[in-house]
Amino acid sequence: MSTNILMRPIGFVRSPYLDTAQVPKGFGAKHETQGTIEILPEYELALTDIEGFSHLYVIWVFDRSDGWELLGTPPTDTRPHGVFATRSPRRPNPIGLTVVRLVGRDGPNLQVAGLDMLDGTPVLDIKPYLSNIPESDLRRGWLAEAEIDYKK
Amino acid sequence: MSTNILMRPIGFVRSPYLDTAQVPKGFGAKHETQGTIEILPEYELALTDIEGFSHLYVIWVFDRSDGWELLGTPPTDTRPHGVFATRSPRRPNPIGLTVVRLVGRDGPNLQVAGLDMLDGTPVLDIKPYLSNIPESDLRRGWLAEAEIDYKK
């Protein structure tokens, strides 16, 4: 039951952040930072129709985080909390999750806003963000079209 | 740059679904199914304070999905789309992402609603869901308390 699972990068983040100290943290933090997600050429076809989505989930690896802990004190509090109740990088599986806004696409490269990853961060997966962005800001690409067809 | 990354389960899903055919899909699909996320005992402490959050991200493995594809036709459409523009299980890294509602906790076991995983699914990570659930439905646990302290 405790089989290990092997993951491989599907691409890498190009971000202005070279060090974690540069990433805005805590309550005032604005995440409007722009950068690029460079998908490896062999996966470019898997981006087909992604332009129709306004926001994407990016699942990535805290590749420069060293080890993990059960309890940690986040920058937004002075008290320790269970690591699964925080966004700490020091997790049993060093998985990061960020919702980004898709600004544009140039072949295998996605221009996005809202990055909080370091330059060179490996990306494991990209999924459309489908819910809970205010209706007025949301586009759902082929899915919205398909929904209209379905309702006819 | 293409280093592989090893992940290990932190727990497993207990769900009424034994087969993918039983999981509701498509536009009418309601995901209010209840079940349990059983965290392994060695990670129980990492759940500290999780009760304060109304909704959680669960990152998990499509462990019964066979292989992957660049383009696929989802149940909600008749046209193929890039796999990164869908929630298909047949992804380069077989990672699933579900937002669940936390109903209760009994030690290492989280009772949740909104499951769409099969029974026995390995879980890789749990994170608090912080944004874009309607304000009236959202609780943010220690983070909301910490925010109040911060604003004083």
At A25, the pLDDT band (50, 70, 90 cuts) reads confident
Question: How would DSSP label each residue in B110-146?
Answer: EEEE---SPTT-EEEEEEE--SSS-GGG--BHHHHHH
pLDDT of residue A145: 61
pLDDT of residue A130: 73
pLDDT per residue as tens digits for the range B58-105: 999 999 988 999 999 887 777 889 999 988 999 999 999 998 889 999
pLDDT per residue as tens digits for the range A91-121: 999 999 998 889 999 999 999 999 999 999 9
Select from B104, B8, B39, B106 the least CA-distant residue to A94: B8
Query: Looking at A130-134, B2-6, B20-24, B31-35, which range is the least confident one?
Result: A130-134
Which B residues in the span 102-121 are in contact with A, Cβ-Cβ below 8 Å? Answer: none
Which A residues in the span 19-58 are in contact with B, Cβ-Cβ below 8 Å? Answer: 26-27, 39-40, 43, 45-50, 52-53, 57
How far is residue B76's CA from residue A134's CA, in Å, rounded to a whole number? 22
Question: What sign for the dihedral angle of Cα A55, A61, A65, A70?
Answer: positive
Look at the block and give the residue holding tokens 């009418």: B28
End-to-end, the C-alpha distance of chain A in Å comes to 46
CA-based radius of gyration for chain A: 17
Q: Flag if A82 and B133 touch (Cβ within 8 Å).
A: no
> What are the Cα distances from residue A73, in Å, to A31, A122, B41, B98, B143?
21, 25, 22, 26, 11
Q: Is the ipTM of this complex over 0.85?
A: yes
Contact A60, A123 (CB under 8 A): yes
Q: Is the pTM of this model over 0.90?
A: no
